[in-house]
Chain A
């Protein structure tokens, strides 16, 4: 299988195909940044607002540094990418997930820098983006206040520690993993950007099951939920950060 480079910048930099351009639909959320973000992310691809993209997220952002979002697009069938987009964040794309041998499910925690639309954009095999989302109110500074472990000063002792477990979910397998990582945005107090940028999940034979592109707008000590196809046995999880450090572990079969 071709190794897919999931660098968030690439998705933004790929020039839009000029043939078969589609008209961008009006944003039901009325976001001031919709056309700008959509142009960068979707180019000329077809975009539809689609209630089959289920977003599970709380009504309020109790903590603008740790806002949980889960996307379940299993109703769409053949899904190639799931992007979590926060229109008004300085780092607008938090997660770019490619479920390779996995269901169209991704959960994580994100930072919110102000009141903003939080969306999921789901690319199906036919080249159409399916979008859902809502406005979430949040106090300022989710991306521009220092992480707790920086303030506490102990992040370096724990960076890369992973926790995880797998469960049966029907005939599939659910995985939840957490990592210790400061996930510095580069927007705080002269601390350079330093974040996990990919998380990959493989089976015991080394087959890629899913790859998550991760940006600095994912919360400190990031957590991920995903659902892989069937019962592949023990799952090897590997994270790489922007300093090139890799860490991870093996989560036994449920």
Chain B
């Protein structure tokens, strides 16, 4: 009788646990330079199966603790990064930077004291405006992976310039174009550029808040900045500026292709089916991001290009 009841309980408990096993974060840190680690996101859209863990994060070891750049999509993921940072860098996370507003990079801030979470003023403004909407969208897509994730609005206190933290000199670049505020960081000791979503590598750029001309100008700034390797916002670490070139190439092609489609009279739905050039064949989620970009820009381009009657 007793055994039967235990068996029943085990069965009853096992069912929901198995149903929830679809989301299982397993962040892994790779050392990319002395005292610098990258945690890779998967090169996929935000989806239930990946719990939104699609963006790269970075750790920088300092004598004042570990600096974490981009805490990921959720409280649970941010908490795992906190433990991972302590194990690989040997010290707890004492400072968090958020490169820009997007939830795959920013919402993991829920796992940290808001006093140590920093971003550009524009990113703070963006998250005050959009954080709640992002939260709704992420909970809808990711369900229990988001459990306990509240919107943490970062300190909007980052300005362009060099800071020395725990003996490590970090050049902070206040840029824009992927969004209204894009923070990039250059670690002086190793020449590691942590580019946020200004640079995508072997993964198609996302454009929901992009200004393509401003983005290209920011890429010019990064191209002129001496650096040895790049941790892109998405995709593998890059030692040859391939990601920077790919991102620029894609953005130039995207802008020209959409304006040309409007000028040729294509319907927005047809524009989403235009061929993607062969040179982007190795770029992941290219069709997905292209169709998203059509949605972001087509009506605006039409309002500029179609003649008013």
Residues of A within 8 A of B137 (CB): 139
- Which listed residue, A164, A223, A237, touches B299 by the CB 8 Å rule? A223
Interchain CB contact under 8 A, A251 and B309: yes
Interchain CB contact under 8 A, B268 and A223: yes
Residue of B nearest to A249 (CB): B309
Q: What is the CA–CA distance of A161 and B294 in the complex, to the nearest angstrom? A: 23
Interface majority SS on B: helix, strand, loop or mixed? Answer: helix
Residues of A within 8 A of B270 (CB): 56, 70, 107
Question: Does A31 lie at the interface of the complex (its beta carbon under 8 Å from any beta carbon of B)?
Answer: no
Residues of B within 8 A of A251 (CB): 309
Question: Does A79 lie at the interface of the complex (its beta carbon under 8 Å from any beta carbon of B)?
Answer: no
Known: A56-B269, A176-B267. A165 touches B292 (CB 8 A): no
Interface majority SS on A: helix, strand, loop or mixed? Answer: strand
Known: A56-B269, A109-B268. A163 touches B308 (CB 8 A): yes
Interface string of B251-292 (1 = CB under 8 A from A): 000000000000011011110110000000000000110011
Residues of B within 8 A of A164 (CB): 306-307, 309
Residues of A within 8 A of B302 (CB): 163, 176, 178, 223
Q: What is the CA–CA distance of A223 and B305 in the complex, to the nearest angstrom? A: 14
Known: A68-B267, A107-B269. A58 touches B294 (CB 8 A): yes
Chain A proximity of B302: nearest CB distance (Å): 6
Q: What is the CA–CA distance of A225 and B262 in the complex, to the nearest angstrom? A: 12
Interchain CB contact under 8 A, B269 and A163: no
Q: What is the CA–CA distance of A251 and B273 in the complex, to the nearest angstrom? A: 27
Residues of A within 8 A of B292 (CB): 60, 62
Please provide the chain B residues from 82 to 103 with a CB less than 8 Å away from any CB of chain A in the complex: none
Q: What is the CA–CA distance of A221 and B302 in the complex, to the nearest angstrom? A: 11
Question: Does B18 lie at the interface of the complex (its beta carbon under 8 Å from any beta carbon of A)?
Answer: no
**CB-CB nearest 8 A-B residue pairs:** A249-B309, A107-B267, A68-B268, A62-B295, A163-B306, A70-B269, A68-B269, A167-B265
